[in-house]
Amino acid sequence: MSAEIIDGKLVAAYVRSKVKEEAAAFADRYGRAPGLAVIRVGDDPASAVYVRNKMKACDEVGFFSKTLHLPADSAEDEVIAAVEELNSVISIDAFLVQLPLPKGLNEKRILSYVKREKDADAFCSLDAGHLKLGGGNILPCTPAGIMELLSYYGIQVAGRECTVVGRSDIVGRPMAALLLAADATVTIAHSRTTDLPAVTRRADILVSAVGKAGLITADMVKPGAVVIDVGMNRNAEGKLCGDVDFAGVSEVASYITPVPGGVGPMTVAMLMRNTMNAALAASDE
Ligand code: NDP
């Protein structure tokens, strides 16, 4: 067997094209484009690249975008003041605080000030109980992107056995929550799971969100399973790779996401989707 490759670039382009259509209709109706802002604190080079990519995506779909760039030595209250400002500006429908923040700033406290309706990447909604499972307007981008991939490829989730490896607040837990909301039977594995292969082998849909190259090998995958690789690692040659042994697992799985080109491209596309949804919700008459 050779697995069908799930093409994240293709699905991300599809999501962006739908958002672009909706943004044009929104602008016609309300006389302004949907708006996304990013608060960036300090000069972390990786953050600069991520923010640039988000702004570029905004341009492509026809959003208004804005970056508030604060100096690295900003006081916590200054960052909170920027959050409060964006909470109240009407032209900004959603915004995010680019993480990580410089040392000394309390990320959790700062994020707690983001208005829930404008929380572009749903980070402040990740506290247990706040994530509106499945029915929410704004969902955590990476797990929501994975649900979109499954849907695009017509992969049934309801009633199936799903294993999520990893239990972080940003990926593993919300992923499990969305699968559960879609009526899957869900198992979460983590670093203290005693027999990982036994847990992964029962999955019809296996999501690995760990950050360890080569963790998931062919013998850990049920024949015909769908394998979603969230991991982003560097291999010995310095090349980007996921958690899954792609060559080996492709021989066993029915569908598989590559790294790069699988889950990664979906994250920014879903940020655009969240912003569009926030704009529509805010303008709902
Ligand atoms: P975290 O480090 O926050 O979480 C990793 C999880 O993996 C933890 O729950 C940990 O368990 C678990 N884990 C660690 N070792 C093992 C093991 N040997 N067996 C089973 N579980 C294990 O990472 P994130 O959730 O933030 O990210 C996970 C990966 O996804 C990273 O590679 C990251 O770069 C990537 N990523 C990719 C994105 C994309 O857009 N493609 C977006 C976000 C993340 P425990 O809780 O017990 O410590």
pLDDT one digit per residue (tens) for the chain, 285 residues:
699 999 999 999 999 999 999 999 999 999 999 999 999 999 999 999 999 999 999 999 999 999 999 999 999 999 999 999 999 999 999 999 999 999 999 999 999 999 989 999 888 766 545 555 555 788 899 999 999 999 999 999 999 999 999 999 889 999 999 999 999 999 999 999 999 999 999 999 999 999 999 999 999 999 999 999 999 999 889 999 999 999 999 999 999 999 999 999 999 999 999 999 999 999 875
CA of 268 to the centre of ligand 1 (A): 19
Say how far apart CA 195 and CA 200 lie, in whole Å: 9
Catalytic site includes residue 98 = yes
Contacts of 281 (CB under 8 A, 6+ apart): 117, 137
CA of 228 to the centre of ligand 1 (A): 13
* Residue/partner pairs of 129-135 with CB below 8 Å, 24 or more apart: 131/174, 131/177, 133/177, 133/178, 133/180, 133/181, 134/178, 134/181, 134/182, 135/181
Q: What is the residue with the minimal CA distance to atom 19 of ligand 1?
A: 191
CA of 169 to the centre of ligand 1 (A): 10
Which residues line ligand 1 at a C-beta cut-off of 6 Å? 142, 165-168, 170-172, 189-193, 196, 209-212, 230-233, 263-264, 267
Ligand 1 atom at minimal distance to the Cα of residue 145: 40
Verdict on whether the full-model pTM lies above 0.85: yes
Q: What are phi and psi of 153, to 5 degrees?
A: -90, 5
Residue 127 DSSP label: S
> Would you say 271 and 95 are in contact if contact means Cβ atoms under 8 Å apart?
no
Say how far apart CA 121 and CA 174 lie, in whole Å: 12
CA of 34 to the centre of ligand 1 (A): 32
